[in-house]
Amino acid sequence: MEVKHRPHIQEILKQAFPRFIPQINVDVATFTQDTQQATDLIINTPSCNIGCRVREYGAYVKYPEQFTIRSRVYKGGRTELDKILEGHGDYNFYAFENEHGTDLIHWFLYSLDIFRQYYKVCQGQEFRNPDGSYFKAFKITDFPVNFIVCSKPRMEQGSILQAIYRKLESLEHEVWQLSQAKENAL
């Protein structure tokens, strides 16, 4: 699916990263890049590596505030999650197709550095695929506000950012409570 949407993805990224224009090119990954570096498309920019995942419309209807990453494979090989946790990639472009598979109706670009920082706390929920591999599903709202670099539709207009702000307020309250407890203990 990613290859089918390559021109659209390239245009979106040029708009998201205008300082790189016209230096963004989207190419199909080589076998080695796909199997060893967590990418299906190679998004070439002067200073960062961007992975890509496109899901069908049905996934958007059921899970619009979620992203998935393959976590285990049948024969024990390295997965996308392994490669990301090893430090491969700077960002990931995650999108959902429209119901006809002709366009991308919802997408977001997220920071893999922030993903790696929060992975121990936000480990997602693991599910089995019909082919025997496994993937982890993560909720966007479990990560900090700066996790999402940009998106369409803009997340501050929808329920996702509202949920993020609620989570942030909750975390800020917990931090305040801990600081008060620490002060009282001294």
For the domain with range 6-154, which CATH number is right: 1.10.155, 3.40.210, 3.40.630, 1.10.890? 3.40.210
Residue-range domain boundaries for the chain: 6-154
163/38 Cα distance (integer angstroms): 29
Query: Dihedral of CA 153/37/58/113: which sign?
Result: negative
| 46 CB-near residues (< 8 Å, 6+ apart) | 20, 23
Q: Assess whether pLDDT exceeds 70 at residue 98.
A: yes
Query: Over the stretch 20-76, which tens digit does the pLDDT of each residue have?
Result: 545 666 666 666 666 555 556 666 666 677 888 889 999 999 998 899 999 998 787
Percent of the chain with pLDDT over 70: 68
